[in-house]
Structure 1
Amino acid sequence: MRHSSLLPQKINSPVAAVALLAFAGVIGLTLLVLGCALPMFGNWSPMFVIIFYVCSPLPLLIARHFQEDMSGTNACIELALFLTTGIVVSAFALPTVLAHAGTIKPMASILTNTGSVVMFLDILAYFYLHREDDSGSWSQSLF
C-alpha cells in the first residue's frame, strides 16, 4: 500500500518556482495596499516601503557583480550584508514610526509589516533559488 503524503514535495520545475515567487510577491503587495487603501486607514504613507523592497537586493547584487566567489567572507560581502540589513530594518521601522507618530493607524502598520515579511521572504527565496549548488557562488542562475 502506497503512503501518500499531504506535505508539499520539492519544486523541480523552474516555471513552478517562478510562479510561486510571483504569487508570494502579489500577496505581499496586496497586504501593503490593504494597509493603505482601506477606508478606515485612508493614508498612503506606508507605500514608501516599496522603495526598501527595491533597494534591499541591490547591495548583494553589486557585491555579486564585483566578487566572483561569494562563499568566503571579505569586506565587500560584509558591507553588502550590512547595508542589506539596514535596508530591511528600515522597511519595518518606517511603518512602526509612522504609527507611533500618529500618521497612520496601528493596524495599517501591522498590515504593512506583514506584507514586508512576505516580500522579504520572497526576495530571500529568489536569492536561494538562483544560487549555484555546486560551488556555493551566485554567479549563475538556476534556469
Structure 2
Amino acid sequence: MAAGLKTIILLSFVLAVGFLLIILSCALWSNWLPLLVALLYVLAPLPNSICARCAGADDFSADYNSSFLDFGNWLTSTMVVSGFALPITLAHAGVIHSMACIMAMVGGALVYGTILTYSGFFSETSDDYF
C-alpha cells in the first residue's frame, strides 16, 4: 500500500491533536507533570528501532539472534505501559486533576498511534520477493 501526501497530512493532524491534548491537560490545571507522558510516547519506539538494527547473525552463531528484538519489545512495552500508568498514578495521588489524566492518556495514545502508523506506512522493508 503506497502512502501519499494525504496520509502524511492526516498523520500530522492526528499528531497535532495528540500533542494539543497533552499540552491542554497541563495548561488548563497549571500542572506540567502530564507533559512527561509525551516524552515517554515519543521515546517509546526508539528501543525497537535500535534493537532491530542489532539483531541478526553474530560472530558466534550464523543463526538469527532474536534476543535483541525481545529486549527492544520489552523496553518499548514498558515505556508504553508507563505512559498510561503515570497519569493514572498522578491522578490517584491527587497531584493532577482526573480530567487532566484522561486528556493526557488520550493525547498520548494518539501520539504513539501516529508514530506506529507512520512507521507502518513508511517502513523500508519490501515483500516483493516473497
- Distance in 1 (CA, whole Å) between partners of 2:3 and 2:119 is 17
1:122 partnered with 2:110: no
Q: Tell me the TM-score normalized by structure 1.
A: 0.76
Please, which of 24, 27, 30 is the counterpart of residue 20 of structure 2? 30
- Distance in 2 (CA, whole Å) between partners of 1:84 and 1:135 is 29
Once the 2 structures are TM-superposed, how far is the Cα of residue 95 of structure 1 from its aligned partner? 0.7
Matches within 5 A, 1:1-143: 12-38=2-28, 41-67=29-55, 74-131=66-123, 132-134=125-127
Aligned CA RMSD, in angstroms, stands at 2.3
Aligned to 2:61: none
- Distance in 1 (CA, whole Å) between partners of 2:9 and 2:94 is 38
Q: Tell me the TM-score normalized by structure 2.
A: 0.83
* Displaced runs of 4 or more, over 3 A: none
- Distance in 1 (CA, whole Å) between partners of 2:21 and 2:42 is 17
Once the 2 structures are TM-superposed, how far is the Cα of residue 78 of structure 1 from its aligned partner? 1.1
- Distance in 2 (CA, whole Å) between partners of 1:83 and 1:67 is 15
The DSSP-based 3-state class of the residue aligned with 2:50 is helix
How many residue pairs were aligned?
122
Amino acid of the residue matched to residue 27 of structure 1? V
C-alpha change, 1:13 and 1:76, in structure 2 (3 Å) is: closer
Which structure carries more relative contact order (alpha carbon 8 Å, separation 6+)? 2
Q: Where do 5+ consecutive residues of structure 2 fail to align?
A: 58-63
